[in-house]
Amino acid sequence: MTMTTNINRLLSYLDELFPTAKCELFYNRDYELVIAVMLSAQTTDKSVNAVTPILFEKYPSLDDLNKAPLEDIEEILKPIGLYKNKAKNLKGIVKDLIEKFNYIVPSDKEQLMTLPGVGNKTAGVIRAEIFQIPDLPVDTHILRISKRLKLAKKDDEPIDVERKLKKIIPEERWIKSHHQLIHFGRYFCTARSPQCENCKIRDMCINYLK
């Protein structure tokens, strides 16, 4: 089968499995999403969603977060791991949003990536979710699935996979496909126990064909 055929099969299957996939991080304000996505690095959305309501209830504004003692932020974030570094990044993000961006989350990717703990993937998620700017950031789920389905090479880095997916997935589907691929990896094509026997595109998968 051609790459075009395979990607069309994948997109159709994702529409069937997860027609309404969306961001699962809790947030009410733009800056809350920035913080939540930064906190989600190397942990689960579920873990982040367990601490952010506590954080944002105790410190309900950027000014409140800016004044919050670092030790208190660390204590709240302790359950998610890497909490000391993430607490420092959080304080840095808040400070920069206030002082450099006048309390407004920027839509420019380069500006977003100047925020502590915000890299290419995090900036892409923020732009797609808040501003609906087409992007297809690659997390661990999308990285794994892309390699399993031979859409990327075994040694490709996330940025390599992002470039490849953007070439084969129509731009108008980038945001939707980003969420669907994450759901596919999180709930169906999981790392340890993928549902291969129930998968309609298993013939594309290197794991199943071994």
Active site residues: 121, 139
Note whether 146 and 183 are within 8 A (CB): no
Give the integer Cα–Cα distance in Å for 109 and 88. Answer: 21
C-alpha closest to that of 26 among 66, 55, 2: 55
Which residues in the chain belong to E strands, given as ranges? none
- Tokens coding 19: 């027609």
C-alpha closest to that of 180 among 22, 9, 3, 6: 22
- Count of beta carbons in the 10 Å neighbourhood of residue 129: 22
DSSP character at residue 208: H
Q: Where are the alpha helices (DSSP H) in 59-157?
A: 62-67, 70-77, 83-99, 109-112, 120-131, 140-148
DSSP character at residue 89: H
